A and B are shown apart, each in its own frame.
Chain A
Amino acid sequence: MTRRITLSGHTYEFADLKALLAAATPERSGDALAGVAAASEQERVAAQWLLADLPLTTFLDEHVVPYEDDEVTRLIVDTHDAAAFAPVAAMTVGEFREHLLRPETDTTVLRDGLTPEMVAATSKLMRVQDLISVARRTPVVTAFRSTIGLPGTLATRLQPNDPTDDALGVSAAIVDGLLHGCGDAVIGINPATDSPQRAIDLLRLIDDVRQRYDIPTQGCVLAHVTTTLQILERGAPVDLVFQSIAGTEAANDGFGVTLALLREAHEGALALGRGTVGTQCMYFETGQGSALSADAHHGVDQQTLEVRAYAVARAFDPLLVNTVVGFIGPEYLFDGKQILRAGLEDHFCGKLLGLPMGVDVCYTNHAEADADDTDVLLTLLGAAGCPFVICVPGGDDVMLHYQSLSFHDALYARQTLGLRPAPEFADWLARMDMMTADGRVRELSADASSLRVLTAGLR
């Protein structure tokens, strides 16, 4: 259905809903690459005016990717909760934005009543402060051995990647992270190869460290879900099942996953029952641009597709989800400004759909971004109540060759914004004499007992 609007004597036309959503999206290189971006700044605002007046119910009737062609669309439509939607069913997108911003609105109860497209559309109208203030009021709490997402906390994934999966190298990075009070969301390694035996070895390494020091956290080797299923059957200590996911069936096909496969893996990990304070055992990563890079975008803008991936995640009750926001490169998010906006959009949209939405605050060396940009995004995410971020030694991932946050960055954010680690992990840090009573991670001298204890395991 064509929609038209006349602004300052010029008439703008949008052929269908996906064209309107794409044109209304704040500028980013990936939409220009896909050929769906607004042709001018005024056209972008024209699309936003039209979007603001669109009833939310429009998204239940018009699908950006056809129902018949795509299992993600079918998942979204078939699991939509009409009762949860009822309180906002009469609103337009613009009214819904205002509803979310009102302090008396409980933003945590809508989740299953909202579709990704409704949430994406609303975020396109929002400024950065809207994305922050609404997300902050929408905590999502999950648990396995630690509790993630409680207001006033900021957890971290400790990412001890090594270019050759060397056990000593991985162990050193884990110890370094623990000494900086990191690792409460997960100790999660990207393996250098997808070998099942390698994944088992790495999982055992993490599990040994965890048990030796009685650390209330979970381990994960971010292998393909089929690899995790294999090693799960071979008795490996699988805490969490990881998978990268996207917002269309075709893009998920490119990742080698289907909803049925994810369901099988979820059931397998649940059956192990390894959690202590909770049972959530799935971990997903996403990122704007993944569908376009797989040539599976159906002419839909990358941010709307990203939020559709959250519908996939939502179906499996995950412990952790994070967008890898600056990793994909400047052809999708060109500079610090685009990465910043995308990170806050992803966090807001994930939270509204009920996800424990973390962010890998990061950039590659060919993007127009640097550590000042990641400082800004980290600070804003802390203000927005982001459940967790990813940290690597010195912010330099020596295996994936990109820059994420350092352990120091997590210390900065917690201290400056008054945030604590996950409560179980904070207790452990205190027991290890690594954290002061006022919540500060101690700077260690070479003879500190915790340092002696933790490094004693290095072989």
Chain B
Amino acid sequence: MSPDPLDALRQATRARVALGRAGDAMPTAHLLTLRQAHAAARDAVHDPLDADALAAEIERELGVGVCRVASSAPDRSRYLQRPDQGRRLAPDTELPAGEYDLALVVGDGLSPLAIRRHAVPMLREILARLDGWRVAPVVVATQARVALGDEIATAIGARSVLVLIGERPGMSSTDSLGAYFTYDARRGRRDSERNCLSNIRPPYGVDYAPAADTLAMLMAEARRLKLSGTALKADPALPSAEEPS
């Protein structure tokens, strides 16, 4: 045990313990550390995704076709207040329809920062594991909620959809990426009919390759059983989607 008992407390947890006091309040350094963490989380929510730049990067880096769409939420403020609008495509959205097994959707969600950091390397790992899948062009979506993927899948002519989306930022994790898979995707699917893998954010969270391995295994199992969600337990570590963004 450390000679200073307060050090023992600090080493025991990631929680913000033993901060010390200035009177009854926090010392200035901790006050500003907390404010800085909140500022980073706020910026992660509000700094918009440059969707055109991301689309170009995906085409260049991964050599796949990319389409751009937006949800019917006209701006960030409405997006935050009206999740229903984030689940619907903007009126008159057109996508080239085909016949596919899988649509891949990259949505800004609540952390565009997560998409900027992790979408391209994560897509690369996933695309490398999709032998035998007819994969639609990647769709980059802004002001997107998870369920927007259902409408995209229908519009583009895909049976299933995998949505990569920025998760709600925490004070210590502003760039966490979530992956939501839905078999037989269509409007009205419930969250319990999806499977989710969250906290993809190397080096602190799940790394790209193991995440892609898990998703590929899950998707293969979903295809075999023709379902996804709580009824699908390809891996006990994979909970159904409880609270998608």
Which residues of A approach B to under 8 Å, CB–CB? 29, 32-33, 160-163, 166, 168-173, 175-176, 330-331, 334, 364-366, 370-371, 392-396, 398, 401-403, 406, 408, 411-412, 415, 441, 443, 446, 451-452, 455, 458
Assess A365 versus B169: contact at CB under 8 Å? Given A331-B81, A455-B5: yes
Bound complex: CA A366 to CA B169 (Å) = 8
Stretch with Cβ within 8 A of A (4 or more), from B14-22, B91-99, B211-219: B14-22
CB pair A394–B17 under 8 Å, yes or no, is: yes
Stretch with Cβ within 8 A of A (4 or more), from B30-38, B48-56, B122-130: B30-38
Bound complex: CA A162 to CA B12 (Å) = 11
Chain B residues near A446: list those with CB within 8 A.
4-6
Closest B residue by C-beta to A448: B5
Chain B residues near A370: list those with CB within 8 A.
38
Bound complex: CA A169 to CA B37 (Å) = 21
Chain B residues near A160: list those with CB within 8 A.
15
Return the contact of A162 from the options B9, B13, B35, B169 (Cβ within 8 A): B13
CB pair B13–A173 under 8 Å, yes or no, is: yes
Return the contact of B14 from the options A32, A169, A401, A415 (Cβ within 8 A): A169
Bound complex: CA A412 to CA B35 (Å) = 18
Closest B residue by C-beta to A295: B190
Closest B residue by C-beta to A452: B5
The 10 closest A-B pairs by CB, nearest first: A394-B16, A401-B170, A172-B12, A411-B24, A365-B41, A169-B13, A455-B5, A176-B17, A393-B15, A172-B13
Chain A residues near B18: list those with CB within 8 A.
176
CB pair A331–B82 under 8 Å, yes or no, is: yes
Closest B residue by C-beta to A411: B24
Shortest distance between the CB of B86 and any CB in chain A (Å): 10
Shortest distance between the CB of B134 and any CB in chain A (Å): 34
Return the contact of B84 from the options A33, A162, A334 (Cβ within 8 A): A33
Shortest distance between the CB of A390 and any CB in chain B (Å): 14
B116 on interface, CB distance cutoff 8 Å: no
Return the contact of B15 from the options A365, A366, A398 (Cβ within 8 A): A398
A-B contact pairs, 27 of them (CB 8 A): A32-B81, A33-B83, A160-B15, A168-B12, A169-B12, A170-B13, A172-B10, A172-B12, A173-B17, A365-B42, A365-B171, A366-B110, A392-B15, A394-B19, A396-B34, A396-B172, A398-B13, A401-B168, A401-B170, A403-B38, A406-B26, A412-B24, A446-B5, A451-B5, A452-B5, A455-B5, A458-B9
CB pair A33–B171 under 8 Å, yes or no, is: no
Closest A residue by C-beta to B9: A172
CB pair B82–A408 under 8 Å, yes or no, is: no
0/1 string, B157-182, CB within 8 A of A gives 1: 00000000000111111000000000
Assess A330 versus B38: contact at CB under 8 Å? Given A169-B14, A171-B12: no
Return the contact of B9 from the options A334, A365, A441, A455 (Cβ within 8 A): A455
CB pair A366–B168 under 8 Å, yes or no, is: yes
Inter-chain pairs besides A33-B84, A172-B17, 15 sampled, C-beta below 8 Å: A29-B81, A33-B81, A162-B15, A173-B15, A176-B9, A176-B18, A334-B80, A366-B168, A371-B38, A395-B34, A398-B16, A398-B170, A403-B171, A441-B24, A446-B4
Chain A residues near B172: list those with CB within 8 A.
396, 398
Bound complex: CA A168 to CA B17 (Å) = 13
B25 on interface, CB distance cutoff 8 Å: yes
Bound complex: CA A169 to CA B170 (Å) = 19
CB pair B14–A163 under 8 Å, yes or no, is: yes
Closest A residue by C-beta to B42: A365
Interface residues on B, range: 35 or more
Closest B residue by C-beta to A167: B12
Chain B residues near A173: list those with CB within 8 A.
13, 15, 17
Bound complex: CA A176 to CA B10 (Å) = 10
Shortest distance between the CB of B175 and any CB in chain A (Å): 13
Chain A residues near B30: list those with CB within 8 A.
394
Chain B residues near A171: list those with CB within 8 A.
12
Chain B residues near A364: list those with CB within 8 A.
168
Chain B residues near A443: list those with CB within 8 A.
21
CB neighbors of A among B36-74 (8 A):
37-38, 41-42, 44-45
B225 on interface, CB distance cutoff 8 Å: no
Bound complex: CA A330 to CA B42 (Å) = 13
B90 on interface, CB distance cutoff 8 Å: no
CB pair B9–A401 under 8 Å, yes or no, is: no
Bound complex: CA A176 to CA B12 (Å) = 11
Shortest distance between the CB of B46 and any CB in chain A (Å): 9
CB pair A365–B5 under 8 Å, yes or no, is: no
Most buried by A among B10, B17, B84: B17
Assess A371 versus B82: contact at CB under 8 Å? Given A365-B41, A365-B42: no
CB pair A451–B38 under 8 Å, yes or no, is: no
Chain A residues near B44: list those with CB within 8 A.
365
Bound complex: CA A331 to CA B19 (Å) = 33
Closest B residue by C-beta to A399: B15
Chain A residues near B15: list those with CB within 8 A.
160-162, 169, 172-173, 176, 392-394, 396, 398
0/1 string, B83-113, CB within 8 A of A gives 1: 1100000000000000000000000001000
Bound complex: CA A406 to CA B44 (Å) = 23
B220 on interface, CB distance cutoff 8 Å: no
Assess A408 versus B171: contact at CB under 8 Å? Given A370-B38, A394-B17, A446-B6: no
Bound complex: CA A406 to CA B1 (Å) = 27
Closest B residue by C-beta to A33: B82
Bound complex: CA A366 to CA B8 (Å) = 34
Shortest distance between the CB of B38 and any CB in chain A (Å): 6
Shortest distance between the CB of A412 and any CB in chain B (Å): 5
Chain B residues near A392: list those with CB within 8 A.
15
Closest A residue by C-beta to B167: A401
Shortest distance between the CB of B165 and any CB in chain A (Å): 14
CB neighbors of A among B172-211 (8 A):
172-173
Bound complex: CA A396 to CA B35 (Å) = 11
Return the contact of A458 from the options B12, B83, B84, B168 (Cβ within 8 A): B12
Return the contact of A175 from the options B9, B25, B81 (Cβ within 8 A): B9
Shortest distance between the CB of B21 and any CB in chain A (Å): 5
Shortest distance between the CB of A333 and any CB in chain B (Å): 10
Shortest distance between the CB of B94 and any CB in chain A (Å): 28
Shortest distance between the CB of A160 and any CB in chain B (Å): 8
